[in-house]
Structure 1
Amino acid sequence: MKTKVLDFFRLTCLVLVIFPVSIQSCKPEHKEKKSVPEVADPADAIIKNIRVPEFPDTDFNITDFGAIGDGTTLNTDAFKKAIAACNEAGGGKVIVPSGKFLTGPIHLKSNVNLHTLSGAVILFSKNPEDYLPVVHTSYEGVELMNYSPLIYAYGQENIAVTGKGVFDGQAGKTNWWPWCGSERYGYQEGQPHQRDDKNLPRLRKMNKEGTPVSERIFGKGHQLRPTFFEPFECKNVLVQGVTFTNAPFWVMHPIKSEHVTVDGVTVSSHGPNNDGCDPEYSKNVHIKNCIFDTGDDCIAIKSGRNEDGRRVNIPSENIVVEDCEMKDGHGGVVMGSEISAGVRNVYVRNCVMDSPNLDRAIRIKTNTLRGGFVENVFVENIKVGQVKEATLKINTHYAIYDAQEGNYIPEIRNIYLKNITVENSGKYGVLIRGRKEAKVEKIILENVTITRADSVMSVKDSEPVKFLNVTINGEKMKEE
């Protein structure tokens, strides 16, 4: 019976993925009980529906447009000309050959595949002024006009970044990173940083007051770092095979985008807020075969911060993460904390998470200023070596610098972990902090073995966690 209940749960989610209609409108013709059928994996249905871009077999080598791979010549114009020519010709590959190519921001256009050959290293300028004029972008879940992302596409279709090359943001303790305000990353007392009144407090105020995005102008004279790769309102996006390192801020940030595939990418970047991949307001996303070794969350699914998230009101949904390796980071797969428009239908399977510097495996974080919802999260066939705090952490009281309490009660439901093995879960096996006003609902663990945890679990303001064949610290958990 328990298996049938879980199969029905998965079948319902599959129906909602393919046919997003209210199930309340479907009334049975009679009350005869029928066996639950074998269901297709909803994750496979999502993957099948994702459109991966294809490109004409036409090449545009950046060296034919004046690029010089000596590591010192600035090649921004050569990249721009090659991409424009490729786009105007109907599409193809912009080829980056072996060499070290210094450049400012790269702006992709429709039907262009920026393809890097083995030995290609793209070095991004350390000069913030090279990332002007400002463009429509986002910072921690709030839209604004700011420095251009290092690789940027706005409103484009069929774009890609592929190959065997390395994209080096060249961020470090002498540029970009000190703006976070931490001595660990090179900040020195008296330097401007992101928490100065002219920076994040000003942006937060604009968010709260509903200032039009076109009037939220930052960039020069401000200290809000750009993302590395950001497709903004794009469709059919592919990132494949490449390596990202030394990012100023978040690494891959598809925002308001659909049909995104991230395949075989390596993120090795340990700067402040160096999240690996942050889909935001995005739908139909497939992240596979990747390695994440990061200074923050490996993968963090987001949907806007506070008023901005409620204004945009686009949930992130239909996201599949599979066959990935998570090393250092604050969390393996995370939902939040910028989550005000909600997240649903997330599938994580066949991943390995293991590092003494990985804090949690699966994490959901929000508060009553962010609000939002998280529902229908399925985590299956995961091998966890060690994490610091918990295999599963759900926190609706999340805050960093100060208390963040408001009137938007988060809703979290339908979180299902199956076939998980954990050697060392750190402080807790399961850690949940819900709200009395809206308890966390329907948390199910099935076929989970946690060999070691300092404490089995700590759960407050949640429905009882349902255990099905779960062992923690050698003790079989009671099934209800």
Structure 2
Amino acid sequence: MKKILLILILIITISCKKNQKAEHSFDENYAQAKIDTAWNHTMPDILKQIVPPTFKDTTYSISDTLNFRETINKVIEQVSVNGGGTISVAPGDYFVKGSIFMKSNVNLHLLEGVVLNFSPNPLDYLPVVKMRWEGTFIMNYSPLIYAIEQENIAITGKGIIDGHCEEIWASWKQKQKPDKMRARQMGNDKIPLEERVFGEEHFLRPTGIQFIECKNVLLEDFTIKSTPFWTINPILSENITVRRLNIQRGITNDDGIDPESCKNVLIEHCVINTHDDCIAIKAGRDQDGWPYPPSENIIIRNNDFTNIVGSGFCIGSEMSAGVRNVFAENNILRGSDKHAFQFKSNPDRGGFIEEVYMRNMQVKNPVKYGFEFTTDYKGWRGNKHFVKYNNFYFQNITLEEASEISIKINGRVEENIHKIYMENISVKRSPAPVIANHTKDLLLKNISVNGKIINDQDIITTIKKK
């Protein structure tokens, strides 16, 4: 009997080891199976869950250019109480003396010819409201357009939203460091939100559009430019459609679209021309981000990107709750002084970045870095909350020039980067081919730099072999 038991245990042990080996095997068959499942099953299933909101067939017209901000907020409130509908703003120039507060079941429709000129006076954005600033919740100046805990909301139409950041907000970048460090320390120490008060006599700029804990959001067709800080920043929100927007630059830190701890997001057919990152997927900063859900199920397709100092597409660096199931395809990047594609974190963050799929992308003008994975991006506490990177798949991507490095993958001794598959990647000009440190399971198929196919021996690396 004992012999039989020993034999059974031996068989089970061998079987488990075989299964573990098969489970962790990373080769082209594994990669292609993952890619097939992701694009043909996972992404279509996500798309089915992203449904733009619809509104009651009632339209209210606004044309009050003298008291627009007071009028629009009153009408939004009343329309929401009455069950919703569309508020149509007639063509004209409107001075907006403070924030617009969106409410459930309201579509704010800006007809072509509308220009909403938001006040450049910071005092007009008081009293303070709950908002997230670079991944940390604080009480601060209200965003230009703001919503919290609302459902079925939309901003549509071909009008223009102008944040006029150049007049006052632009000077705050040089003044913000003490407040920035204080906010981050409060997040680290889990100080109660009601004690994290900024606003007047502080210098943390508000975002352009920030919706917190909202469901069923549509942003469509309008132009938005010159916002004080990140342009569009939905947070802890679900079922978001962003399409055909024209986002134009303002000052530094003017990211185009930053979904943060959001689920089921579609960004398509947008033109984004910013100073900083065009798209940055985020999920909270350090300890302050850990209690919240990850950003997941995000689709970015058929967009046109241009920027100066940031990335065309990036994940992080505020990503502490994690990011997964990201799909990007058929986007064009017209150049950046820094990165085409960046995945950034540091040991203060914790969390994970996983299941990222990108294909059919063109980078038409020079960038400094083609692809960069970094695990030491501006960390300042020296913690050991190492981020897990796992399962990245890139196909059919062309870059005209990466003036410093074509592909740079820097993991850590403590936490390697796992499972990166690159297929049909062409970098026409670059002084450095591929750098990969502390990376486990890197597969390259038809990767060319300067017209030369890159093989394993061409990689500057400390890759850990399987």
TM-score of the pair, normalised by structure 1: 0.86
Check 1:74–1:458 CA distance in 2 against 1; reply closer, same or farther (3 A cut): farther
> In the alignment, which of 395, 404, 410 is matched to residue 427 of structure 1?
404
What secondary structure does 2:47 align onto?
Answer: helix
- How far apart are residue 10 of structure 1 and its match? 3.3
1:449 aligns with 2:426: yes
- How far apart are residue 379 of structure 1 and its match? 0.6
1:372 paired residue number: 351
1:5 paired residue number: 30
Question: For residues 308-327 of structure 1, what are the structure 2 equivalents within 5 Å?
Answer: 308-310=288-290, 312-327=291-306
Check 1:385–1:292 CA distance in 2 against 1; reply closer, same or farther (3 A cut): same
Q: How many pairs are equivalent?
A: 430
What secondary structure does 1:463 align onto?
Answer: strand
Can you give the 5+ residue segments of structure 1 that lack an aligned partner in the other structure? 15-38, 182-192
What secondary structure does 2:439 align onto?
Answer: coil
For 2:215 and 2:403, the matched residues in 1 are separated by 40
Which residue identity is paired with 2:35? R
Contact 1:306 1:370 in 2 (8 A): yes
What secondary structure does 1:296 align onto?
Answer: coil
For 2:430 and 2:391, the matched residues in 1 are separated by 24
Contact 1:281 1:315 in 2 (8 A): yes
- How far apart are residue 91 of structure 1 and its match? 1.1
Identity %: 38
1:278 aligns with 2:271: no
- How far apart are residue 358 of structure 1 and its match? 4.4
1:20 paired residue number: none
> In the alignment, which of 311, 321, 332 is matched to residue 352 of structure 1?
332
Check 1:154–1:262 CA distance in 2 against 1; reply closer, same or farther (3 A cut): same
2:57 paired residue number: 57
- How far apart are residue 403 of structure 1 and its match? 4.2
Which residue identity is paired with 1:264? R
Question: For residues 254-333 of structure 1, what are the structure 2 equivalents within 5 Å?
Answer: 254-310=234-290, 312-329=291-308, 330-333=310-313
1:409 paired residue number: 386
For 1:106 and 1:5, the matched residues in 2 are separated by 50
2:449 paired residue number: 472
What secondary structure does 1:164 align onto?
Answer: coil
TM-score of the pair, normalised by structure 2: 0.89
Give the CA RMSD over aligned residues. 1.7
Which residue identity is paired with 1:313? Y
1:231 aligns with 2:211: yes
For 1:10 and 1:237, the matched residues in 2 are separated by 29
Check 1:7–1:382 CA distance in 2 against 1; reply closer, same or farther (3 A cut): same
For 1:457 and 1:123, the matched residues in 2 are separated by 47
For 2:225 and 2:288, the matched residues in 1 are separated by 29
Which residue identity is paired with 1:5? Y
Deviations 1:329-377 (A, max 9, x none): 410111001111110010000000122x342121111100112210011
2:170 paired residue number: 177
Deviations 1:269-316 (A, max 9, x none): 131210000011101000000011111110101111111011x23110
Contact 1:270 1:293 in 2 (8 A): no
Question: For residues 136-285 of structure 1, what are the structure 2 equivalents within 5 Å?
Answer: 136-172=130-166, 174-181=167-174, 193-196=175-178, 199-285=179-265
2:460 paired residue number: none
Contact 1:286 1:321 in 2 (8 A): yes
Which residue identity is paired with 1:371? G
1:80 aligns with 2:73: yes
For 1:476 and 1:241, the matched residues in 2 are separated by 42
